[in-house]
Amino acid sequence: MCTIFTLPALLKKRYTMTRTLILLLLCACMQHASAQTYVRTSKNFGLFAAYSPANMTQRPGSFRTVNNGQALSAGLTRQVWQIVYPELFYLRHQGFTPYSDENNTPVPYRWNGIGAGLAVKLDLFAFDVRKKNGYCFGRMVNLIAGGDYVHPVAVTATPFESKAQGEATARLGLGMYSVWGGSSRAKKSWTIHWEATYRYGLTPFMTAIDRPAPGMNDAWTHSSVNLTLRVIRHKVYKFSDM
């Protein structure tokens, strides 16, 4: 009989093998086993916040920065199949348009939106495996890939004859989180992820009429370097209660 593996099943299998490896490494540094062990369930809930110190305004299909600003985002997330992280969030861009006013002064804009995204995180390797505060401890580095779509809900200080649009983006980067051995419920209940990603705009977030010259239309996209903190709360149960 032939067995067919779906993509989520294959990704979950790879993740499980990697997690098993780091757990074996953690167990190797244990000296005493506790009588009570807590195990995570699939139920979880999380929050995340991201800051972009380099939020670049560019033209579609270009990596050339016209102007630079900042961006903040915060939202809800969870872990599915151990590697997939759906997201709902609020995003605020603040920057300058490629054009200046009649006084040759850069024109600022503020762009606020509500978005939905998806991130996939694949574990790459473990490091810093050691005993810490009486527990086995290790750090895991993972590869992050994903994308999102943001719909504008409040855009202020829009320059000239401009129009806000929904933006689609793609993301790629690296992340890190800690893994604890032992039986502590607190260690099993929480996971903190640190992430650094590059977010590239696939569609314009704003278009301008009669710019840069009458009869011509211009468009701008966002690209940014993002630093993200993601905190996941896991539901756990006692292994002895199985």
Q: What is the distance between the terminal CA atoms of the chain, rounded to a whole angstrom?
A: 33
Residue 66 has, within 13 A of its CA and on its CB side, a CA count of 20
- Report the C-alpha gap between 206 and 218 in whole angstroms: 9
Render pLDDT for 30-62 as a digit per residue (tens, 0 to 9). Answer: 444 444 577 788 899 999 999 999 999 888 877
Q: How would residue 236 be classed by pLDDT, with cut points 50, 70 and 90?
A: confident
User: Which domains, ranges and CATH numbers included, belong to the chain?
Assistant: 44-176+186-241 (2.40.160.20)
pLDDT of residue 171: 97
Across residues 193-219, what is the average pLDDT? 84
Select from 221, 1, 191, 219 the least CA-distant residue to 79.
191
- Report the C-alpha gap between 205 and 201 in whole angstroms: 8
220 and 59 in contact (C-beta within 8 Å)? Answer: yes
